[in-house]
Chain A
Amino acid sequence: MALGDCLLPGIADMVSLTINGRHYSVDAEPDTPLLFVLRDTLGLTGTKYGCGIAQCGACTVHLNGQAMRSCQVPLDSVGTQAITTIEAVEQDDVGRKVVEAWVALQVPQCGYCQSGQVMAATALLKQTSQPTDKEIADAMTNLCRCGTYNAIAAAVRQAAA
């Protein structure tokens, strides 16, 4: 970006982000949801837009290991928190086990919600390695229009085993 661009009205300052262990500088307004920075600015399209109001969870990423709905995370609230997206989930031991369980139990159908489901499951298992059924139900609240909920719960249990 040319230096002069910073002087134009309405052009935001560059914001620094740490995503999947890499540093990025992005040019976007501070209230831009992290979701669209990931998808459109940085091309990390594994994280999905579903509803934009934290109902569906398709946009789930990790902020410092916590599952967050990135459609509700304004860019200026991220600060120095480490962002992990589905693209890096297999670099994590727990994440890899979750993915393997998803594949073994053939969880996805249309698959559109599954990035978010895998990220939610990974965050759950990193915090609670042996979750009860109730803990699974409480943590796995993402919507799935194909109704893969039972397969998801079974895969979480398999990944925890």
Chain B
Amino acid sequence: MHPLLRPAVPSRRRFLAGAGGALVLSALLPARTVRAEAQGPAEGAGLLAPKPGTRVAAFLEIHPDGTIKLLSPFVEGGQGIATGMAQIVGEELDVPPSRFVVECAPPGPDYAVVNGIRMTGGSFSTRSSYETMRRLGATARDLMIHAAAAKLKVQDGELTTRDGVVLHAATNRSLAYGDLAADALKLKPNESVPLRDPATFRYIRQPIPRLDVRDKSTGRAIYAIDHKVEGMLYAAVQHAPRLGTEPTSLANEAEVKAMPGVHSVHRLPGAVAVAANSWWRARKAVEALKVEWSAGKPSGIDTVAADFSSEGMLAALKTSTDPGHVAEEQGDVAAAFAKAAKVVEADYEAPYLAHAQLEPPSAIARFAADGTLDVWLPNQMPEVFQAVSAKVAGLQPAQIRIHSPMLGGFFGRHFTYEAGNPFPQAILLAKATGRAVKLLWSREEEFARDAVRPLSFSRFRAALDTAGQPTAIEVRTVGEGPIGRYFSMMMQTPVDPSAVEGIVEKPYAVPNRRMTFTKVAHPVNIAFWRSVGHSMNDAFYESFLDEVAQAGGHDPFALRMALLQDSARHRTLLSTVAEMSGGWQRGPYRAEGGMRARGIAMASPFGSETATVAEVSVEGGEARVHNLWIAFDPGSIVNPAIVKAQVESAAALGLSSVLFEQIVYRDGVRQSQNYDTYPILRREHMPAVHVRIVESGAPMGGVGEPGLPGVPPAVLNAIAALTGRRIRALPVANSKLSAV
């Protein structure tokens, strides 16, 4: 289980157990501690931190014109969470979502609504806060009624609400929320307000239009890169060719200082920077700098050394003999293999990946006259960025104001990744220049320092009985995941859940199972990447399951049905995706333009379930995907249009990754500098995507990521069906294909 999913907040002791993560931890500590340490001893109510998600005034500003500002715990980055929050709060508050303006809230204990912490990630936002945010809306509505009752001198029970107005039907009097808010927010909230009967919902479960779509269609949406503050300098950097090496000398500093608009030249950890009066001038100047870099450590996998390569890293994972730790064990695997009629074995590997979100990262840092600091930056965890900013600036977290604009894509890009974020550089430059500084990484610098989805390797073995049914599956996964790197203190065992998710906890009734995880740390900066471990592990497992089916003489769809006979939820999804795609057929079959085949895959990511069918042909040695059919069961939903858009978006990213994407290191240097050397899915490769939502009523699952993991294996399985060739090393573009 994902550690953040555990219902209880991890204890403070466990938080503090990993000293390396102390910086991150201080931001995640229970609110009371943070407040006490930041502000010194306080009296009475000041000492008592609010229960997250309960203090109406921290979330809602109700204006006299009837509009409502919602300070959201979550940052909007395309996933539609701002609209979803407006729907959920609006439903209970009885205000149409279209009247909401949603902003990402500043750091603060009120917003720790994701199992006691605050983050936008892990596909947690809606499912973790749904009840809390409904209750917040209901509590606010109750306060409005209470305030109106006092003003109208009637009982609460005589009042109703409609669209932001409290009504007293008997006397035909009404009061708008905007006129009640000031009084209402002074009242003591009722902690046990009943929630609305879902049968009466007007907004939840409706395809409410997104609040940000018009601004995003007319260039009015403001991202971090668009922010400007008075008197700021623009800055650009040139990073060291390899992470961990430092600038030692600048051959032409005087000439660069004399370039147009240049304010100053700076040495930073692992980089040089120029501040200027425009970003283009800063960039030209910094790229003109002739820098001598230190040599760095000579070799080994504990440094991005001059001889580091992704090929060498993969070899290190493959040749590791460390038995690792058991991630899942059931039955007697050894006995099953001893009795096996047939044994199937296969090795699977996946490359490093960049996030390649369209907005290059930037940050503005501005020190105020009183020494406090404002930072505008893309982020998925304001409190952690606040803590790291404080450390860099030499201030207390309470002296840092974090501003969190909407994100031009994130996919896991905007957590704190040490050298992978520009904001520490911006803070250092603001300190050094005494001016506000806006630092923007060029696309090339972003490709050089983005933290990457880890390269990974898994070795699979299956035992089959005489009927061709799998009796045992054994998987050895070697590598490192981002939870282990950044949140190890939250792990209960040495097994990194983000390294093995998608390989463990499968729904299939294979009686004997043994999955292990062997940690081999990457010298490179690794990251969360949309659907994290699932982004590759489901590709491995579901591909291997097709290999098992083939070895046992079974159709892959029929085998899955058989292995899921005790799970109605999964069988429903399989039946649904078969029906959506006109009935299961593997092929190959003749279609318009040539032969095609189909692949099936399932995945259970982030509390949701998916079944995916891909239809593929081969043209000019390349795979071409024509259709993706996805049956998606997140249990229950808030906005069907947003859910479908997210599933299609995740499917596109899954397809992009399986077909094209890889960050390759050679001689310690990444070989991709921009989209020309890191191809991503373009419109000519976009298939038709057919999504059907199945609401099983199971506990609400995630939405932003779960559409992804089923796509790579469905495509790989279709390619195998069409070409007879099993691709076990991603991406597909590394293999030249031919249809049989």
Residues of chain A having any CB pair with chain B under 8 Å: 9-12, 28-29, 32-33, 36, 39-41, 43, 45-53, 55-56, 58, 85-87, 89-90, 99, 102-103, 106-115, 118, 137, 140-141, 143-153
Q: Determine the chain A residues whose CB is within 8 A of the CB of B359 once the complex forms.
A: 48, 50, 110, 112
Q: Determine the chain A residues whose CB is within 8 A of the CB of B676 once the complex forms.
A: 53, 55
How far does the Cβ of B529 sit from chain A's closest Cβ, in whole Å? 12
Of A9, A51, A86, the residue contacting B219 (CB under 8 A) is A86
A-B contact sample (11 more), CB < 8 A, given A10-B258, A51-B674, A145-B409: A11-B260, A43-B228, A48-B408, A52-B444, A103-B217, A109-B78, A111-B216, A137-B684, A143-B675, A145-B680, A147-B652
Q: B214 interface residue, CB < 8 Å from A?
A: yes
Q: Determine the chain B residues whose CB is within 8 A of the CB of A45 once the complex forms.
A: 219, 222, 225-226
Instruction: Tell me whether B357 and A110 are in contact (CB under 8 A).
Output: yes
Q: Tell me the complex Cα distance, A111–B649, Å.
A: 12
Q: Determine the chain B residues whose CB is within 8 A of the CB of A107 once the complex forms.
A: 213, 217
* Best-buried of A55, A107, A110 by chain B (most CB within 10 Å): A110
Contacts A45-B222, A110-B358 given; does A141 touch B683 at CB 8 Å:
yes
Contacts A48-B408, A55-B675, A150-B688 given; does A111 touch B683 at CB 8 Å:
no
Q: Tell me the complex Cα distance, A137–B214, Å.
A: 24
Interface of A is mostly: loop
| In the A-B complex, the 5 residue pairs with the closest CB atoms | A46-B219, A147-B652, A111-B216, A110-B78, A112-B408
Q: B622 interface residue, CB < 8 Å from A?
A: no
Q: B259 interface residue, CB < 8 Å from A?
A: yes
How far does the Cβ of B1 sit from chain A's closest Cβ, in whole Å? 29
* Smallest Cβ-Cβ distance to A75: which chain B residue: B280
Instruction: Tell me whether A89 and B653 are in contact (CB under 8 A).
Output: no
How far does the Cβ of B648 sit from chain A's closest Cβ, in whole Å? 6
Instruction: Tell me whether B214 and A111 are in contact (CB under 8 A).
Output: no
Instruction: Tell me whether B680 and A109 are in contact (CB under 8 A).
Output: no
Instruction: Tell me whether A32 and B280 are in contact (CB under 8 A).
Output: yes
* Smallest Cβ-Cβ distance to B76: which chain A residue: A110
Instruction: Tell me whether B218 and A143 are in contact (CB under 8 A).
Output: no
Q: B681 interface residue, CB < 8 Å from A?
A: yes
* Smallest Cβ-Cβ distance to A35: which chain B residue: B280
How far does the Cβ of A124 sit from chain B's closest Cβ, in whole Å? 13
Q: Determine the chain B residues whose CB is within 8 A of the CB of A89 once the complex forms.
A: 218-219
Instruction: Tell me whether A33 and B280 are in contact (CB under 8 A).
Output: yes
Q: Tell me the complex Cα distance, A105–B295, Å.
A: 54
Instruction: Tell me whether A40 and B280 are in contact (CB under 8 A).
Output: yes
> What are 24 A-B pairs at a CB distance below 8 A?
A32-B278, A36-B279, A36-B280, A40-B278, A43-B228, A48-B358, A50-B359, A53-B674, A86-B219, A99-B218, A102-B213, A106-B210, A107-B213, A108-B210, A109-B80, A109-B646, A109-B649, A110-B77, A110-B358, A113-B358, A118-B218, A141-B683, A143-B675, A147-B655
Instruction: Tell me whether B358 and A58 are in contact (CB under 8 A).
Output: yes
How far does the Cβ of B637 sit from chain A's closest Cβ, in whole Å? 16
Contacts A10-B258, A86-B219, A110-B359 given; does A103 touch B278 at CB 8 Å:
no
Instruction: Tell me whether A146 and B443 are in contact (CB under 8 A).
Output: no
* Smallest Cβ-Cβ distance to B411: which chain A residue: A145
Of B214, B221, B260, B408, the residue contacting A103 (CB under 8 A) is B214
Q: Determine the chain B residues whose CB is within 8 A of the CB of A53 once the complex forms.
A: 443, 674-676
Q: Tell me the complex Cα distance, A62–B280, Å.
A: 21
Q: Determine the chain B residues whose CB is within 8 A of the CB of A52 once the complex forms.
A: 442-444, 674
Instruction: Tell me whether A49 and B649 are in contact (CB under 8 A).
Output: no
Instruction: Tell me whether A36 and B652 are in contact (CB under 8 A).
Output: no
Q: Determine the chain B residues whose CB is within 8 A of the CB of A11 once the complex forms.
A: 260
Q: Tell me the complex Cα distance, A36–B440, Å.
A: 12
Instruction: Tell me whether A144 and B278 are in contact (CB under 8 A).
Output: no
Q: B6 interface residue, CB < 8 Å from A?
A: no
Instruction: Tell me whether B260 and A56 are in contact (CB under 8 A).
Output: no
Contacts A40-B234, A45-B222, A110-B78 given; does A148 touch B649 at CB 8 Å:
yes
* Smallest Cβ-Cβ distance to B642: which chain A residue: A106
Q: Determine the chain A residues whose CB is within 8 A of the CB of B280 once the complex forms.
A: 28, 32-33, 36, 40
Q: Determine the chain A residues whose CB is within 8 A of the CB of B79 once the complex forms.
A: 109
Q: B419 interface residue, CB < 8 Å from A?
A: no
* Smallest Cβ-Cβ distance to A52: which chain B residue: B443
* Smallest Cβ-Cβ distance to A47: which chain B residue: B219
How far does the Cβ of A77 sit from chain B's closest Cβ, in whole Å? 15
Of A47, A56, A118, A151, the residue contacting B358 (CB under 8 A) is A56
Of A99, A137, A146, the residue contacting B683 (CB under 8 A) is A137
Contacts A111-B408, A113-B358, A114-B216 given; does A149 touch B234 at CB 8 Å:
no
* Best-buried of B442, B683, B689 by chain A (most CB within 10 Å): B683
Q: Tell me the complex Cα distance, A63–B359, Å.
A: 24
Instruction: Tell me whether B216 and A147 are in contact (CB under 8 A).
Output: no
Q: Determine the chain A residues whose CB is within 8 A of the CB of B645 once the complex forms.
A: 106, 109, 148, 151
Q: Determine the chain A residues whose CB is within 8 A of the CB of B697 once the complex forms.
A: none
How far does the Cβ of B678 sit from chain A's closest Cβ, in whole Å? 10
B405-422 CB mask vs A (1 if < 8 Å, else 0) is 011111100000000000
Q: Determine the chain A residues whose CB is within 8 A of the CB of B225 once the complex forms.
A: 45, 48-49
* Best-buried of B358, B360, B649, B684 by chain A (most CB within 10 Å): B358
Q: B23 interface residue, CB < 8 Å from A?
A: no
How far does the Cβ of A71 sit from chain B's closest Cβ, in whole Å? 10
Q: Determine the chain A residues whose CB is within 8 A of the CB of B259 once the complex forms.
A: 10
* B:66-90 near A, CB below 8 Å: 77-80
* B:236-283 near A, CB below 8 Å: 258-260, 278-281
* Smallest Cβ-Cβ distance to A99: which chain B residue: B217
How far does the Cβ of A74 sit from chain B's closest Cβ, in whole Å? 11
Contacts A106-B210, A137-B684 given; does A87 touch B219 at CB 8 Å:
yes
B383-408 CB mask vs A (1 if < 8 Å, else 0) is 00000000000000000000000111
* Best-buried of B209, B216, B653, B674 by chain A (most CB within 10 Å): B216
How far does the Cβ of B262 sit from chain A's closest Cβ, in whole Å? 9
* B:192-231 near A, CB below 8 Å: 209-210, 212-223, 225-226, 228
Q: Determine the chain A residues whose CB is within 8 A of the CB of B686 once the complex forms.
A: 147, 149-150
Q: B356 interface residue, CB < 8 Å from A?
A: yes
Contacts A107-B213, A110-B78, A150-B689 given; does A145 touch B218 at CB 8 Å:
no
Q: Tell me the complex Cα distance, A89–B110, Å.
A: 41
* Best-buried of B258, B408, B653, B688 by chain A (most CB within 10 Å): B408
